[in-house]
Structure formats: structure tokens, C-alpha cells
Chains A and B, each alone.
Chain A
Amino acid sequence: MSSAALETKETVAGLGEKYKYGFVTDIEMERAPKGLSEDTVRYISAKKSEPDWMLEWRLGAFRRWLSMKEPTWARVHYPAIDYQDSYYYAAPKNTPKKQSLDEVDPKLLETYKKLGIPLHEQMALAGVAVDAVFDSVSVATTFKEKLNEAGVIFCPISEAIRDYPDLVKKYLGTVVPVTDNFFATLNSAVFSDGTFVYVPKGVRCPMELSTYFRINASETGQFERTLIVADEGAYVSYLEGCTAPKRDENQLHAAVVELVALDNAEIKYSTVQNWYPGDENGLGGIYNFVTKRGDCRGARSKISWTQVETGSAITWKYPSCILRGDESVGEFYSIAIANNYQQADTGTKMIHLGKNTRSRIISKGISAGKAQNTYRGLVSVYGKAENARNFTQCDSLLIGGACGAHTVPYIESRNPSARIEHEATTSKIAEDQLFYCLQRGIGQEEAVALIVNGFCKEVLQQLPMEFAVEAQKLVGISLEGSVG
């Protein structure tokens, strides 16, 4: 390597050190005692002033969880998690109800500014209502009035449990049952907060809804719970962005997201996940064990998942669609980037139950450094699902020789009329592609970002405009230093 190239590499390695969002906000936190017991569950429920039925629901989940085993089938490796050595609840102190942003701790607002989401500006410019979750307690909810006019409910789930118990009771746990899996059951017991959305019949939500999640307190798992219900003929687009500060210890994140779409309803759920991935030696980083599932409960309903996963030390995540209603449609568009020592095991499940149901899966996996990236997907067609259609395309891109890409598609069909297509490719960023860019004056880092963005184009196009720009930049940042 020439000296100039070496210098470039060192500069880039230096840049790679920086995780842009790796700062810690110094705010006094109120925590539950360390460890997990019925008392922890009661503590959380009491903190949220929950009704008895909710506490019972949580306790039921907790008792169930005690008898469950952590799953081991995913292609990820990590030291055993000590669930008693963690805090399950942390909230900024002194945060009773805020009437306006002026009452919010200025330090908190400063944090949002660092994250690039100045609430004031977003309210004014972007027309995005932000329900920001800061270590478990929602502190600022904006644009409520406009949503109120349309009849859309968009609030912290803790608030929904108090204010709309009938809606919550009707839908909570109906897509991801309490007993679903180890992490979802854990979440059901200790979830601290999250988001609730209800879009009434025939209403097209007047704006994109957005929540920023952020893990701040050290050694605190973040357990959000999101429930989105689109009633008959309703439409909603929901954006979720995640970042977390840089710490040496690993942090657990086990969220549950449930989507319900009734007849003719459509839900579009987009995620840009940028949790701290650990350093270039694999130290620290978020363990992200998430259960996301959508139920196309009504006829002609549609649920579309789009995810850009660039962060976390471990990603274990399979946003899925249950295509229950006849002619319902499920979509999954995914970009998963793993660099350094990151491990990603992600994909989707498309469960075809109704007639003429259709699903589409586009997965783009990019591996660099020593990372391992697995696509794991299930397409299942049940006996009554006449004329079900699925199209799956799984493309993997490798950068360098020390990483790995794996594709694990499961296909089950119990109806002979089903048509299932699966295409898969694996490619490398070719030396001649890089040289071509360099020769035209495009530097190495920019060239990699350009080629990878091209590779991901089909998925990036699915993102709402303001997220697409952020995601494109993120693709570049997360692969810095990946070509030596």
C-alpha cells in the first residue's frame, strides 16, 4: 500500500472510532432496584399508575417467562446474559406531566439537538409529530391537536392504558401473544413505555408519525411496547429511529411491536436502527432482540415493513406479517449492514392464511469486516390460502474476505395453487468497480457508499423522503473503514 493510501486508511480508522451518537446525558435517573422479580414488575406497574388488569397481565407474563428458555437457533453468539444484573426501569427524575416543551429539562432538549431532532424545528418544519421516548418515559408529545382533530390517537402506551383501556385490552397481545417467545414474554412483563396509535375508520393519518427511541442510562434494558391499530379503511405511516450512547458493557433491548390492520386498512412501518454497534474490536454494543409482527386481520388490508439496520452488536429481528384477511398484502423491505464484529440474524415471516394473499420480500444484506449477516425467512402458505403469491429476493454483498453472508429461507406450502418465487444472489464489491470510481476522482469511502447505496436502491426507495436521506448517509458512515 502506498504511503498516501496508508494515511487515508489511518484517517478512516480514526473516524470509525467515532460513533456519532455516542454521548451520555447527565440527568438524574430514578431506577427500580437491580434485578428481576415480581417486585420489579409491581414497581414498574405502580410507577405507571397502572390499573390492576395491567399488573395482572404483566405478572402472568413474568411467571410464564420464568419457565422459558432463551432461544439458541439464531446464528449469533454472545456470552450468557445475566438477567438479574440489570436495571429494568430508569426514568429521568422530576418529570411529572409537562404542559409544554418549556417545562422539559433543557439538558434533555440538548440531547435531542445532538441527535439532530430539535423538537421545535421539527414541529415547525417537518410536520412530523414526535413522541420521544427517553429511557422509558415519554417526555414530549407534539402535534397532538392536529391529530385530535382527525381522531387519531398517538400517545405513550402508558397513557393509553389509563385513558383508552378498552382499545388497549382489545388489541394488546393479540398479534404477539404473551407466550410468544422468551424475549417477547420478558417484554410483556417489564415493558416500561412505548407508543400507542389508533387510526379510526376511514381516516388517513394527516402526517407521518415518528418516535425516537434512545437508551441513555447504563445497564438498563430498554423494553418498549408499540401497538398500532388501523381501523377499517384507515392509513398510517410510522417512522421509528433508534440511537444509543456508546458504552463498553452490552445493553439489552427487547421491544415488541404489534400492528393490526382491519378491512382495507394500510400500515407502513419504517425503521432506521442505528443502536451502538460496539467498537471495532467488538467491545460493547446493543443486543437487539425484537419481536415485530403485523396482523392483516381484515380483507384487502396491507402491512409494509421497511427497515434499515446498521447498528447493534447483535440483531435478532423478524418483522412479520400474518395475512389473515382475504386479498391482504404483506411486504418486507430490508437493508441489514454488519461491519466489524456485528452479528445480524434478520428476516421475516409471511404467513398466508387468507385467499389471494400476496407477499413480497426484498432483502439486502451487506457484510464487511469480520461481521456475520444472516437472512432467515419463512414463507408459509396454509391449506385455505387459495392462490397465494410470494416473491422473495435476497441479495448479499460482501466487502473484504473476512465476513460472511448466509441465507436461510424456509418455504412451506399446503396449498397446490400457491406460487412462491425465491431469488438469491451473493456478490462482492469488485476491485474493478472500486478502481473505476477512483479513476473518476471518487475517493474510496465515497465509492463504497455509492456502490452500496446502488445495491440497496430498491429498499431505500420505500422509505419516506426525510428518512431516505438519513439512511443513505448512515449506509456510508457504517461502512467507513471497511475497505483497506
Chain B
Amino acid sequence: MLDIKNLHVAVDGKEILKGLNLRVEAGQVHAIMGPNGSGKSTLSYVLAGRAGYDITEGSISYNGEDLGALPPEERAAKGVFLAMQYPVEIPGVTTMMFLKSALNAQRRSRGEAEMDAIGVLKTVRKKAAALNVSEEMLKRALNVGFSGGEKKRLEILQMALFEPKLAILDETDSGLDIDALRLVAEGVNSLRSPDRAMLVITHYQRLLDYIVPDRIHVLAKGRIVAEGGKELALELEAKGYEQIVKDAA
């Protein structure tokens, strides 16, 4: 589903990713781990198509399509979803209104009929209950005054609503206490499916106790320096990134 070859990405002329290779098949969950500054967030942004993240070399193939050539909103319509580390606030726009706009924009882009307000409301309500997202939260302005846990739950709700093919979770565990983490992880696990790939980006092993990955890749200095099964996370936890990166060199 996702095939990244020799990817080089520059931000403000500074190269952050330096020849990254990664393949993720449908139905799999891969984890990207790495120290601060290794390029984890850059990878998530370049996949989502954020302005200012320029591909200088290499390619990203998504279901056989050149992902880099698509504007971000088209990527979203084609099933690329990024659960953000810092979800942004949009004052005056209710969460429900935002969800409806986004859902229908994606549907329009795919040539599907738009859903009416009642249809959206029903769909959202069904999915919101499982994630403990209250009716009251849906009426508030998007992310305005939300706690860290509420913001992350809303990200997962959107993932459940848009049913992406490739879901990237950028540091979804950051800022969550253990109960919130469990709730979010349950939400993610319930979305695992044979036709969906997930890329879980995290600094800590903790999240991977709850979301157990098929593969783990260690990102350091802009490249994948080590990979393995789920047991690699424990090794990382024991030895620390420095040793693993040194071992790999």
C-alpha cells in the first residue's frame, strides 16, 4: 500500500530525511520509533502533504500512485489520515460542523453524494459513544478548551469517521494519562482491518503495549537504522536509542 523509496525531505533548505525506505502492506500496523529530532514528525507531515516539506529526492508510492504529486486535501479523500500530535483549535466552528464539512468534502472529491446533516449526526453519534466523546464536546468549537485527552479522542473519532486506508498516528500517546491512553488505544485497535494500514509514530515503548505492531522501525538522523518485530521495542526500552543507533552504524 505504501512504498517509500530513498526519500529525502528538506524543510527551509535543511535536509531532515536522508534516504528513508519503508514499505507497509494493507492490514499491517507498523511503528516508527526514534529519538527527538530524528525526523518522525517530518515523515508524518510529508506523507500528509504539508506545505514547506519538500521532497528533494526519492518517491512515495501509495496504492501505485505518486503521493507527492497530490495536494493534501486529495490525499485525504483518497484515504490518507494523519492523527496530529497537536490538533489545532478553530474558534467559532463547532466540532460537528467541522466533521460534516470534512466528511462531505471528501465524499465530493470521490464523486459520492453528500450526507445531509441528520445522516452525519447519526453516524458521528454512533462512533462517538465508543470513544467517550460527549454530545456536549461535539457542540463546542473545534478543540477550543479541550483537554489533551479530549483532543486525542477527537482525532481517533475522525479516523473512525473517515475510515482511511492509511492512518498515521503522530505521537498519539503524548500528553495522555494511562486511562486516556487505554481508551485511545482501544479505539485504534478497533479500527485495525485487513484493508487498512497504520503507521504509529511514537517516542516511547509504552503505547506499543496497547497497540501491538507487526513491525517496528527505528528512525534516526533521517533514516531507518534498525527494524524488527514487536520485541524490538523492549530492546529499545532496555538499551536506549543511543546504543541501538550505535549498534546499527
Contacts and interface: CB of A to CB of B under 8 A. Distances in A.
Interface of A: 2-5, 8, 430-433, 435-444, 446, 450-451, 453-458
B76 A440 contact: yes
Given A440-B162, A442-B73, A446-B105, A435 B92 contact: no
B88 A450 contact: no
Nearest to A1: B51
Contacts of A455: 91-92
B141 A454 contact: yes
A455 B81 CA distance: 26
Contacts, number: 86
B141 A450 contact: no
A7 to B, nearest CB: 9
Contacts of A433: 88-90
B70 interface: yes
Contact of A454 (B49, B69, B91, B162): B91
Contacts of A443: 73, 105
Contacts of B106: 440-441
Given A438-B73, A440-B158, A450-B98, A431 B91 contact: no
17 contacts: A2-B71, A3-B69, A430-B88, A432-B86, A435-B72, A438-B73, A439-B49, A439-B73, A439-B75, A440-B105, A440-B106, A442-B102, A446-B105, A450-B93, A451-B90, A453-B92, A454-B90
A440 B107 CA distance: 11
A454 B105 contact: no
B168 to A, nearest CB: 10
Interface in B190-204: none
A95 B245 CA distance: 88
Contact of B101 (A5, A431, A442): A442
B14 to A, nearest CB: 18
A3 B71 CA distance: 9
Given A435-B51, A441-B102, A4 B69 contact: yes
A436 B158 CA distance: 12
Contacts of A446: 101, 105
A432 B143 CA distance: 13
A435 B45 CA distance: 10
A436 B88 contact: yes
B83 to A, nearest CB: 10
A435 B93 CA distance: 16
A337 to B, nearest CB: 15
Given A437-B102, A439-B75, A441-B102, 4 more contacts: A433-B88, A438-B73, A441-B109, A442-B105
B244 interface: no
A436 B93 contact: no
Nearest to A433: B88
B188 interface: no
Q: Determine which residue in A431, A439, A453 has the highest number of CB atoms from chain B within 10 A of its CB, and name it.
A: A439
B48 interface: yes
A450 B90 contact: yes
Nearest to A440: B102
B162 to A, nearest CB: 7
B102 A432 contact: no
Nearest to B72: A438
B77 A441 contact: yes
- Grouping DSSP codes into helix (H, G, I), strand (E, B) and loop, the A interface class, with mixed when no group exceeds half, is helix
Contacts of A430: 88
B82 interface: yes
Contact of A441 (B76, B87, B90, B141): B76
B50 interface: yes
A454 B92 contact: yes
Contacts of B92: 453-458
A433 B74 CA distance: 17
A310 to B, nearest CB: 18
B120 interface: no
A24 B32 CA distance: 62
Contacts of A450: 90, 93, 97-98, 101
Interface string B87-119: 111111100011001110110010000000000
B84 interface: yes
A441 B81 CA distance: 9
A432 B76 CA distance: 16
A4 to B, nearest CB: 5
A438 B93 contact: no
B94 to A, nearest CB: 9
A144 to B, nearest CB: 38
Nearest to A457: B92
Contacts of B74: 4
A455 B74 CA distance: 26
Nearest to A3: B69
B109 to A, nearest CB: 6
A442 B108 CA distance: 10
B77 A439 contact: no
Interface string B47-89: 0111100000000000000000111111111000110101111
Q: Determine which residue in A430, A437, A440, A455 has the highest number of CB atoms from chain B within 10 A of its CB, and name it.
A: A440
Contacts of A431: 51
Q: Determine which residue in B72, B91, B97, B106 has the highest number of CB atoms from chain A within 10 A of its CB, and name it.
A: B72
A179 to B, nearest CB: 42
Contacts of B88: 430, 432-433, 436
Contacts of A432: 86, 88
A299 to B, nearest CB: 36
A448 to B, nearest CB: 12
User: Which 8 residue pairs across A and B have the least CB separation, nearest first?
Assistant: A454-B92, A441-B76, A454-B93, A441-B106, A457-B92, A440-B102, A438-B72, A436-B88
A437 B70 CA distance: 16
A476 to B, nearest CB: 12
A432 B77 CA distance: 19
A206 B109 CA distance: 44
Given A430-B88, A440-B102, A440-B158, A451 B93 contact: yes
A435 B44 CA distance: 13
